[in-house]
Amino acid sequence: MPHTPTTLIIPGLRDHVDAHWQTHLAKRLPKVATVPPMGRENLECTQRIVAIEHAIAAIEGPVRIVAHSGGCIMVAHWVRTTAHAHRVCGALLATPPDFEQPMPEGYPTLDALKAGGWLPVPRQRLPFRSLIATSDNDPLASRESVLTLARDWGSETVDLGSVGHLNPASGYGEWPMAQILLSRFGA
């Protein structure tokens, strides 16, 4: 009998937030692991990639990824260096930001992202099935830039409509659709 996949939660640059849909989702899933917090001021991409690698290495059997925001970009960087990508049966990538364009005040600058190793954003095809959840009014990325990422990564897309950045600031604590979308990658 095949292993039930473990879901690995990969938060964005703002780390774990109690009111976030990823936190609520993790409470509803039977087998879940979370990449540990790295600190909001820590913009070192390499450290975050290592944290993903350690988290996946500690999981037995197949893995489903649920990444939000900067976590989506972390996944794209991680797949370039990992030996564990073959264990990933799918990835739900929700509202990836456009790190190659200036972001709103309060978010990292292009210079800070470049110094942290985030740029350029990897564009190679992901070696596993992936689904990008898009928003048509995300303050961190235009719909067009996210659709370009989806094309480059070989990802399917699902249009969520006007959900902002799909975070508590946009009114999303609970997001029941996450579990429905995640089910595309196995029980």
pLDDT of residue 1: 40
Q: Please check whether residue 117 lies inside any domain of the structure.
A: yes
> Which residue intervals of the chain are DSSP H helices?
21-28, 45-57, 70-78, 110-115, 143-153, 177-182
What is the domain-level CATH number for residue 176? 3.40.50.1820
* Residue 64 resides in a domain: yes
CB atoms near residue 185 (< 10 Å): 22
pLDDT confidence of residue 149: 97
Measured in whole angstroms, the distance separating CA 56 from the mean position of its chain's CA atoms is 14
Is residue 182 pLDDT above 50, yes or no? yes
Find how far residue 181's CA is from the centre of its chain. Answer: 14
Boundaries of domain holding 54: 6-185
- Mean pLDDT calculated for residue range 52-70: 96
> What's the pLDDT at 90?
97
In a domain, 161, yes or no: yes
Q: Return all residues near 83 (Cβ < 8 A) that are at least 6 apart.
A: none
Burial of residue 54 (number of CB atoms within 10 Å: 0-12, 13-18, 19+): exposed
- The answer to whether residue 4 scores a pLDDT higher than 90 is no
Measured CA to CA, the distance from residue 92 to residue 73 in angstroms comes to: 12
**What is the mean pLDDT of the segment spanning 122-142?**
97
- Domains contained in the chain, number: 1
Residue 1 maps to a domain: no
pTM higher than 0.85: yes
